[in-house]
């Protein structure tokens, strides 16, 4: 049996399959602990919501980085975003739409190859019976995209208009995941495995991967 490889005390995984899920092999090696976290959060969402809507978003920092401290940025973003979603669902119930949702998430901090600046990749999970799209990518719209921009602005303590260019939705960012459709889980895990790669992360002095507890 091959001896496990470790990086900063974390076991690394190579190859194109992990626990039956496909990996972006060319992006490896991957941190085993982080891959397991992706599986746990995805399964927790599907347990509560057999019809789950998951989506990718990248959060960037302003150029005047010295004005901001990274400490608890993601925590503040998620807290603000969850509160905005909660209020939106309260309003929806008043209008006769009964489906509720909690917000689960995964995040990874990376350092850009060329810029040397940190940024964050996230995958957010919600009930697909409550939300099945992000809406128009326009600030002020009553949709998930606008709420993410407002939440990131709140986390950075800047005006929402100044956060528009800091919230990026990449290509192929939306996933309709179903508990009775293993292919849909594999597609999402394959995309999410990128976030568990060891490269471009600075491990040790700063936490660079996390997510919902369950």
**For residue 75, what are the domain limits?**
5-211
Q: Which has the higher per-residue pLDDT, 29 or 201?
A: 29
CA dist., res. 214 & res. 111, Å (int): 27
Share above pLDDT 90 across residues of the chain, in percent, rounded to a whole number: 77
pTM, entire model: 0.92
Task: Say how many domains are in the chain.
Answer: 1
Using one digit for the tens of pLDDT, what is the confidence trace for 100-157?
999 999 999 998 766 667 899 999 999 999 999 999 999 999 999 999 999 999 999 9
Which residues, listed in sequence order, are joined to residue 105 by a DSSP beta bridge?
124
Strand-strand pairing, 51-60 and 167-168? antiparallel
Looking at residue 140, the DSSP 8-state letter turns out to be: T
pLDDT digits (tens, 9 = 90+) for 59-89: 999 987 556 677 789 999 999 999 999 999 9
First vs last Cα of the chain: how many Å apart?
A: 33
| H/E element, 198 | none
Q: What is the DSSP string of 72-92?
A: THHHHHHHHHHHHHHHHHHHH
């Amino acid at each position: 049996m091959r001896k496990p490889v470790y990086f900063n005390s974390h076991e690394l995984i190579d190859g194109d399959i992990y626990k039956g899920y496909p990996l972006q092999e060319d992006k490896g090696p991957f941190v085993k602990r982080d891959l397991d976290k992706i599986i746990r959060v995805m399964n927790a969402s599907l347990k509560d919501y057999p019809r789950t809507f998951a989506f990718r978003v990248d959060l960037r920092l302003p150029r005047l980085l010295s004005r901001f401290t990274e400490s608890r940025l993601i925590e503040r973003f998620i807290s603000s975003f969850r509160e905005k979603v909660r209020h939106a669902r309260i309003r929806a119930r008043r209008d006769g739409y009964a489906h509720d949702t909690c917000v689960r998430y995964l995040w990874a901090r990376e350092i850009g190859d060329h810029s040397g600046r940190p940024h964050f990749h996230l995958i957010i999970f919600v009930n697909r019976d409550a939300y099945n799209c992000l809406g128009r990518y326009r600030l002020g719209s009553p949709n998930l995209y606008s709420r993410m921009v407002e939440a990131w602005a709140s986390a950075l303590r800047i005006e929402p208009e100044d956060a528009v260019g800091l919230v990026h939705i990449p290509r192929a960012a939306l996933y309709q995941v179903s508990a009775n459709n293993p292919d849909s889980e594999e597609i999402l895990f394959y995309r999410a495995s990128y976030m568990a790669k060891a490269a471009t992360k600075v491990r040790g002095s700063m936490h660079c991967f996390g997510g919902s507890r369950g």
